[in-house]
Amino acid sequence: MEKKPFITKAQAEEIAKTYPTPFHIYDEAGIRANCEAVKKAFAWNKGFREYFAVKATPNPYIMQIIADYDFGFDCSSEAELVLSDAVGADGAHIMFSSNDTPACEYALAHKLGAIINLDDITHIPFLESIIGDKFPEVMSCRYNPGGVYTLSNGIMDNPGDSKYGMTKEQLFEAYKQMAARGVKKFGLHAFLASNTVTNEYYPKLAGELFELAREAHETLGIEFAFINLSGGVGVDYRPDQERNDIAAIGEGVRKVYEEILTPAGMGDTAIYAEMGRFMLAPYGALVTKAVHAKHIYKEYIGVDACAANLMRPAMYGAYHHITVLGKEDAPCDHKYDVTGSLCENNDKFAIDRMLPEIENGDYLFIHDAGAHGFAMGYNYNGRLWSAELLLRPDGSVKQIRRAQKLKDYFSTFDNTEFADKLLKD
Ligand SMILES: *Cc1c(COP(=O)(O)O)cnc(C)c1O
């Protein structure tokens, strides 16, 4: 599908007068329209709730927008729990789906009344050592079926190699042990394939989890409050990919629900999701300016952002579409590597990419950076994080996180003999 930037060159120029490039910018209208589409797709299920995966875009202003739809937050760290609490989420709106969990984070999740989703059976005694034997009334477990996970277009992922979740045997044993500690209602969670661009993934996963929940219900006599389909619904990073249709995905899940759960007398089970990428990726972009053009054995365009601002291309070789603002209709007849300034040769936003001729000063709009974009930022080479901006539905722009300054980067040298020099403005 054609990829259109949500700002124009004129808007980028205007914004850059106040907030110099590079910056991340999010499209509030796009986020809201997508939240509504998700809500509508699962409206058939009375208890449906999306718990936005905070790690994708951990910004309280973005989280507030999502909270407007009565969605909650999926957390796996102390920072994410604190953010959820800060935007006013109550326990029912916080899912704590962590792994290799530190004790202090279980304590905080429990204090906030969050729904705790256990990654492993050994976490039952671990949790007991923190909160005692009075477990919450509703708790969840994460399942890992092992093997490889296939959909009709081939192997999607490799659960047998992944560190998450419990085997089926452990899952059933965990439910028994939790019931013995007072848990009244259960959740079942699995995340088996990442960034799927097919309407088939959620319905197939749902069918498997519904069968498993029915078996646990029938053999252990336990009640299920929810089935959590977790994340993994992906986005069309490449223009030749067909976008996921959330209405078709919701309808696919409804069909298997009525085939499996309704006849089993489990028709009051809520469906939960923990989408991150699908909720935010297309509605955020990294905007950066071309500052150098270098001609050696290849053609390079150097920009003022780097992998510290968006790590996915360097880390996974991920494709992010690039639009040169103002040159939307120009022919893509130049082949470039688009690079950042890190002393790492993988610091490239694009390799051998056909783009319009780029001049210094051109603004590049790097698409689909709204999830796992700013969030994965790091400070290698002492490169600083950019600002995060929100494009409001009325066209105005609000800064929702300022750019990092050198004194922020050096802040942990406070109380040292270098503080005077490093921490000045
Ligand atoms: C990362 C993560 C998600 C979100 O995944 P997306 O692919 O961004 O939708 C959801 N749940 C858990 C437990 C995760 O770790």
Specify the pLDDT at position 156: 81
Cα→Cα distances 277→237, 273, 287, 370, 396, Å: 11, 12, 19, 8, 25
Mark which of 255, 277, 299 sits at the end of a domain.
Answer: 277
The CA 76 to ligand 1 mean position distance, Å, reads 10
| 262/288 same-domain check | no
Domain boundary among 277, 299, 319: 277
pLDDT, mean of each 10-residue run, the chain (425 residues): 94 98 98 98 98 98 98 98 98 97 98 98 98 95 95 85 96 98 98 95 98 98 98 97 97 98 98 98 98 98 98 96 98 98 97 98 98 97 98 98 97 96 91
Q: What is the DSSP string of 151-208?
A: ETTEEEE-GGG---SB-HHHHHHHHHHHHHTT--EEEEE----SSB-STTHHHHHHHH
Return the ligand 1 atom nearest residue 97 CA: 13
Pocket test for ligand 1, best of 34, 51, 55, 140 (most atoms within 8 A of CB): 55
Q: Token digits for 412?
A: 């942990």
Identify whether 321 is part of a domain: yes
Quick check: 402 and 307 in contact, CB under 8 A?
A: no
Q: Are 218 and 261 in contact (CB under 8 A)?
A: no
Question: Ligand 1 pocket by C-beta < 6 Å: which residues?
Answer: 53, 55-56, 74, 76, 97, 191, 194, 230-233, 274-278, 371
DSSP per-residue string spanning 295-342: ESSSEEEEES--TTT--HHHHH-----EEETT-TTS---EEEEEE-SS
Distance from the alpha carbon of residue 266 to the mean position of ligand 1, in angstroms: 26
Are 206 and 332 members of one domain? Answer: no
Distance CA 310, CA 324 (A): 17
Domain count, the chain: 2
Q: In 76-110, which positions are buried (b, 16+ CB within 10 angstroms) versus exposed (e)?
A: bbeebbebbbebebebebbbbbbeebeeebbebbb
Which CATH number covers residue 363? Answer: 2.40.37.10
Q: Give the pLDDT of residue 159.
A: 93
Q: What pLDDT is attached to residue 405?
A: 97
Residue carrying the six token digits 């130049």: 334
In the chain, % helix, strand, coil (3-state, to 5) comes to 35, 25, 40
User: Which of 74, 196, 249, 376 should be mutated for ligand 1, with most atoms under 8 A from CB?
Assistant: 74
Where do we find the tokens 């809500």?
Answer: 39
Do residues 151 and 200 lie in contact, with contact meaning Cβ atoms separated by under 8 Å?
yes
Residues 193, 340 within the same domain? no
Report pLDDT for 424. Answer: 87
Gap from CA of 119 to ligand 1 centroid (Å): 14
Give the number of C-alpha atoms closer than 13 A to the C-alpha of residue 396, restricted to the C-beta side.
4
- pTM for the model stands at 0.97
- Same domain as 314, residue 270: no
Residues 313/320, Cβ–Cβ less than 8 Å: yes
Of all atoms in ligand 1, which is nearest to the CA of residue 371?
8
Q: What does the angle CA 70 – CA 56 – CA 269 come to, to the nearest 5 degrees?
A: 40
pLDDT at 6: 98
* Residue 146 near residue 159 (C-beta atoms within 8 A): yes
Same domain flag for 249 and 149: yes
Look at residue 22 and tell me if it is in a domain.
no
Domain membership of residue 205 as a residue range: 28-277
Q: How far apart are CA 253 and CA 206, in angstroms?
A: 6
Residue 61: closest CA among 82, 83, 76:
83
